[in-house]
Amino acid sequence: MEMRRGRRMPRDQLSALLLLLALAWLWLPAGGRRPPRPPPCPPSCSCTRDTAFCVDSKAVPRNLPPEVISLTMVNAAFTEIREAAFAHIPSLQFLLLNSNKFTLIGDNAFAGLSHLQYLFIENNDIQALSKGTFRGLKSLTHLSLANNNLQTLPRDLFKPLDILSDLDLRGNTLACDCKIKWLVEWLESTNTTVPAVFCSSPGQFEGQRIRDLALGDFQCITTDFVVHQVLPFQSVSAEPFTYASDLYIALAQPGASSCAILKWDYVERKLRDFDRIPAHSAVHCKPIVAQDQLYVVVAQLFGGSYIYRWDTAVDKFIKIQDIDSQKTRKPNDIEAFQIDGDWYFVIADSSKAGSTSLYRLNQNGFYSHQALHAWHRDTDVEYVENDGKPRLIISSSSQAPVIYQWSRAQKQFAPQGEVGEMLDVQMVKYFRVKRDQFLCLSRYIGDSKVVRWEGQRFVELQTLPSRGSMVMQPFSVEQRQYLALGSDFSFTHVYLWEEEKQKFVKFQELSVQAPRAFRYVPAADVQLLLAPSFKANTLVYRHVVVDLSL
């Protein structure tokens, strides 16, 4: 029957026609048919439709079948796997990178492989990995980093691997220090199966299983002094004080002919200019807050020394008193203290004809109370109170430091003895560690010493090299006892007290030119260390706590 135009062929006839055409194609000679195209494959690889095995490749192969789900690379001729190196084969489920020369695997090296389940990177020379190496591998269940040269692992390296079930770290040289502490925590909490991994160092942990380490075995909390603020001027002393609930610092600036009063800004966390007291040759500006009044004793090498008081009516410092220039000729240091409710200050005088003098506050001002240690060129004075007995320790250029003890009957200081046979002491400072009492004795020429009070005398405990030192200042921050030893010829050395060794050990170097004082100042939640410099800017350091495991 003739088919009419536009009418469809019946379904059974169409099926028969297709069958005949297929049979006719099969009966054609072999030469008349095109063979199927082999999948694309780089010269260094052997490929099937969904696998590739590559040897001696000079780079990650680019021309691979798009359906590849398994890639093996052996003896590759390159050493670095860069970011998104396999992003062009996003269907990968299995990746084996064994027995190569890889030394570096970059951040996001496996980006784009969201289907990857098995990753083996074994027998290479990888010494370190970056934190983001395995970022994006959300389907990874098996990971092997065995037999590399890994010495540490960045914190939270495995955090992106949500469903990781098996991890192999064997055959590496992991150092069980603070950088590996996170791994100990992770092993305690993870459900991932991890064969035993052992420490290669340090000595006390060598050969131990990492999983067996306790978190308490790691001593990872340390501290540091970092520059917090640079004050653009020279100074030779720094004295903190609190007045009307605000924190201030008084700095003697002989080069600027003034005593600078700085105020702490609790919002900006910086020291700001507040006021200045004229002082042509100031060596010390000592603030004293007594009976709700603020006084500043200004000691000058030339032109006399004075006492100022803050006048709240006019908001400025008013000079209220001269200090007798016949008694105080060349002041070098001032200490202020309170005994039985009375306020005193003592000025160490370094002139040959002068004497260290004690002044007492009464209703009209500070007046001379006692002359101490005349004609000995005193360099420093330290007030100490222990066992309820006030004492003064005075160092000088001509004899060993002298101890004076307060007599409550006579209301004066009386000589008690000397500190060893150490001459030419530039500065004397007192500190305590628990129940033990110590003195730091600094010298410009020769070694400085730390001595300990034992019964009735001070006994030498430690000698510290200190050529060119004008300042040796102990101070404590929370539970740590430090010692800052300055020098005119080299770096300042900060030492830390070690209780077990009963001595100071070197902790940090600070670059301060010709320091003349170190003053610890707690300012709310900020711990400061002021370092006045005779030749350069005055530096303000901040004490910070550092967790080495982070």
Structure tokens at 128: 């370190």
Angle at 15 between CA 14 and CA 21, to 5 degrees: 90
Computed from CA positions of residues 37, 40, 42, 46, in that sequence, does the dihedral angle turn out positive or negative? negative
Element (H, E) at 373: strand 365-374
Separation of alpha carbons 395 and 422, rounded Å: 10
Q: What is the pLDDT along the chain (550 residues), one digit of tens a residue?
A: 344 444 444 545 544 433 444 444 444 454 445 556 667 899 999 999 999 999 999 999 998 987 899 999 999 999 999 999 999 999 999 999 999 999 999 999 999 999 999 999 999 999 889 999 999 999 999 999 999 999 999 999 999 999 999 999 999 999 999 999 999 999 999 999 999 999 999 999 999 999 999 999 999 999 999 999 999 999 999 999 999 999 999 999 999 999 999 999 999 999 999 999 999 999 999 999 998 999 999 999 998 999 999 999 999 999 999 998 888 889 999 999 999 999 999 999 998 888 899 999 998 899 999 999 777 889 999 999 988 899 999 999 888 999 999 999 999 999 999 998 788 899 999 999 999 999 999 999 889 999 999 888 899 999 999 999 999 999 999 999 999 999 999 999 999 999 999 999 999 999 999 999 999 999 999 999 999 999 999 999 999 999 999 9
Tokens of 479: 């539970």
CATH superfamily of 42-219: Ribonuclease Inhibitor (3.80.10.10)
Q: Any idea what DSSP says for residue 305? A: E
Distances (CA, A) of 356 to 178, 308, 374, 486: 53, 21, 6, 25
What distance in Å separates the CA atoms of residue 536 and residue 539, rounded to the nearest whole number? Answer: 9
Whether the link from the prior residue into 254 is cis, omega within 30° of 0, is: no
Q: Is 145 exposed, middle or buried (0-12, 13-18, 19+ CB in 10 A)?
A: buried
| Structural tokens at position 227 | 């520059």
Closest CA to 468 of 490, 437, 496: 490
Of the candidates 412, 449, 413, the one whose C-alpha atom is nearest the C-alpha of residue 428 is: 449
Residue 398: predicted pLDDT: 82
Q: For position 36, what pLDDT does the model report?
A: 61
Report how far residue 85's alpha carbon sits from residue 79's, in angstroms, rounded to the nearest whole number.
Answer: 13
Please report, for the chain, the start and end positions of each structural domain, with discontinuous segments joined by +. 42-219, 238-323
Q: What would the two tokens of residue 373 be?
A: 């240690």
First to last CA, the chain: 89
Predicted local distance difference test score (pLDDT) of residue 10: 52
Given a contact cutoff of 8 angstroms between Cβ atoms, the answer to whether 157 and 135 are in contact is: no
**Residue 202 Ramachandran class (φ > 0 left, ψ -120 to 50 alpha, else beta):** beta
425/448 Cα distance (integer angstroms)? 8
Q: CATH fold of 238-323, please?
A: Lipocalin (2.40.128)
| Beta strand 526-531 pairing with 519-523 | antiparallel
Strand extents, DSSP E, 419-537: 427-433, 436-442, 447-454, 457-465, 472-477, 480-485, 492-498, 503-510, 519-523, 526-531
Residues 6+ apart with CB under 8 A from 186: 158
What integer pLDDT is reported at residue 325 of this predicted model? 83
**At 122, which amino acid appears?**
E
Cα(209)–Cα(45) distance, integer angstroms: 40
Taking CA 466 as the corner, what is the angle to CA 462 and CA 471, rounded to the nearest 5 degrees?
100
In this structure, which amino acid lies at residue 53? F
**Tell me, what's the pLDDT at 68?**
95
Which 3 state secondary structure label does DSSP give 497?
Answer: strand
Q: Is the pTM of this model over 0.85?
A: no
Provide the β-strand partners of residue 144: 120, 168
